[in-house]
């Protein structure tokens, strides 16, 4: 009777199933040339495993570090309770391709949804819609809080440092993304300052990830926000500026990022498509991206479309004062005129 099988093997993780025993789910370990890559409990319930005469469950091992494609054949997954190596399933998937991990961030109503729809389709990237900025920021905050400053010493500090808790959180984040998308490649589109603030953490979790920041004239953006979401005018002004300033503060920590103006994506789709395709290392995808950016299926940006000056609005004197107070400096830094 089989004790388990490996069903998918990539440079980033291994998945499959393993049989447990009377003591509970099996522990499985992945190794490569004597180096432990990672471990997990085979405790994921699956309908296709539930009718067996032995307790079987799925596992998902996220590797501590990426494995070169040429070394995939050397990976061994075994149950830690014995020396038996799990064989490959007959329909197993071995994917040695370089993963594409893309994060699209920016202020809400800046074209992030449109771009995500286009790139998910053209690059065949798994995309689960809007992400979860609160979850990601919580993971990022936890990892930062558990990273002990170098001047801290003492037995407790040494013992805590030995646990590598920030890396535990990073591995959990990797596992969450891989399992949620069932792939090492994925696209995440999550607007807002909270997600932007977490981008250095995401880069740490996914060193090969690429980041695209979408931005838009503040007048047009706030007009669109008010039409879409309603709410308080001043809050929208503060949030637009927070997104711009947070990106300015974090982009220096990201080696691979691209900034795209929503206005240019609408008016120069061919130029933007070429820039994106080159940035992602997929120049052949430029024509398809251009074609989709030119179609009319995409979500339009409502009341803010083409309105970039205060004279284009019907805002009250109070609202104009609030906009100038909260947004004028960021508008100037990004080269946006509004008078």
**Confidence band for 300, pLDDT divided at 50, 70 and 90:** low
State residue 35's pLDDT score. Answer: 92
DSSP string for residues in 301-334: -GGGTT--SGGGS---HHHHHHHHHHHHHHHHHT
Across the chain, mean pLDDT equals 88
What pLDDT sits at residue 313? Answer: 94
Model confidence at 143, pLDDT cuts 50, 70, 90, reads: confident
pLDDT band at 149 (very low <50, low <70, confident <90, very high): low
Task: Give the number of other CB atoms < 10 A from CB of residue 314.
Answer: 6
E strands, the chain, are 4-9, 13-19, 27-32, 35-41, 56-62, 75-79, 87-94, 101-106, 127-130, 186-189, 210-215, 257-261
pLDDT score recorded for residue 139? 87
Instruction: Give whichever of 39-53, 97-111, 163-177 has the largest mean pLDDT.
Output: 97-111
Tell me the pTM: 0.84
| Alpha-helical segments (H) within 59-217 | 112-122, 133-145, 155-163, 165-181, 193-197, 199-205
Range(s) within the chain of domains with CATH label 2.60.40 = 4-92
- Which of 19-28, 155-164, 219-228, 296-305 shows the lowest per-residue confidence on average (mean pLDDT)? 296-305
3-class DSSP state of 163: helix
* pLDDT of 301: 52
Would you state the pLDDT for residue 81? 57
Give percent of the chain above pLDDT 90. 59
pLDDT digits (tens, 9 = 90+) for 259-275: 999 999 999 999 999 99
CATH 3.40.50.300 residue window(s) in the chain: 101-333
Burial 227-260 (b: 16+ CB within 10 A, else e): eeeeeebeebbbbbbbbbebbeebbeebeebbeb
> CATH class for domain 4-92?
mainly beta
The architecture CATH gives domain 101-333: 3-Layer(aba) Sandwich (3.40)
Mean pLDDT for 84-102 is 84
- What integer pLDDT is reported at residue 288 of this predicted model? 96
13 pLDDT higher than 80: yes
Say what the pLDDT of residue 264 is.
94
Strands 27-32 and 75-79: antiparallel
Mean pLDDT of the region 304-328: 91
Q: Does the pLDDT of residue 153 top 80, yes or no? A: no
| Predicted confidence (pLDDT) per residue in 178-228, tens digit | 888 888 899 999 999 999 999 999 999 999 999 999 999 999 999 999 999
């Amino acid at each position: 009777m089989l004790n388990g099988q490996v069903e998918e093997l990539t440079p980033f993780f291994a998945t499959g199933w393993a049989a447990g025993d009377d003591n509970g789910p099996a522990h499985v370990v992945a190794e490569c040339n004597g180096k432990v890559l990672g471990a997990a409990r085979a405790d994921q319930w699956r309908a296709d495993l539930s009718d067996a005469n032995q307790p079987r469950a799925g596992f998902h091992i996220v590797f501590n570090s990426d494995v070169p494609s040429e070394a995939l054949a050397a990976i061994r997954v075994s149950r830690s309770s014995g020396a038996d190596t799990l064989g490959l399933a007959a329909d197993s998937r071995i994917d040695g391709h370089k993963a594409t991990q893309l994060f699209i961030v920016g202020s809400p109503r800046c074209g992030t949804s449109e771009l995500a729809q286009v790139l998910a389709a053209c690059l065949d990237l798994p995309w689960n819609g809007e992400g979860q900025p609160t979850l990601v920021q919580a993971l990022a905050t936890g990892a930062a809080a558990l990273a002990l400053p170098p001047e801290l010493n003492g037995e407790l500090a040494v013992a805590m440092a030995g646990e590598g808790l920030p890396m535990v959180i990073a591995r959990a984040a990797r596992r969450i993304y891989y399992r949620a998308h069932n792939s090492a490649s994925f696209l995440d589109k999550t607007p807002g300052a909270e997600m932007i603030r977490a981008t250095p953490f995401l880069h740490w979790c996914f060193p090969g990830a690429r980041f695209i920041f979408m931005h838009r004239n503040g007048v047009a953006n706030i007009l669109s926000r008010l039409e879409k979401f309603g709410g308080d005018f001043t809050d929208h002004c503060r949030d637009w500026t927070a997104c711009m300033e947070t990106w300015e503060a974090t982009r220096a920590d990201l080696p691979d990022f691209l900034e795209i103006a929503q206005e240019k994506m609408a008016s120069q789709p061919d130029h933007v498509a070429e820039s994106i395709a080159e940035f992602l290392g997929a120049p052949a995808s430029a024509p398809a991206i251009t074609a989709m950016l030119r179609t009319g299926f995409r979500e339009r940006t409502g009341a803010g479309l083409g309105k970039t000056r205060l004279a284009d609005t019907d805002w009250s004197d109070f609202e104009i004062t609030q906009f100038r107070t909260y947004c004028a400096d960021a508008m100037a830094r990004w080269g946006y005129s509004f008078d």
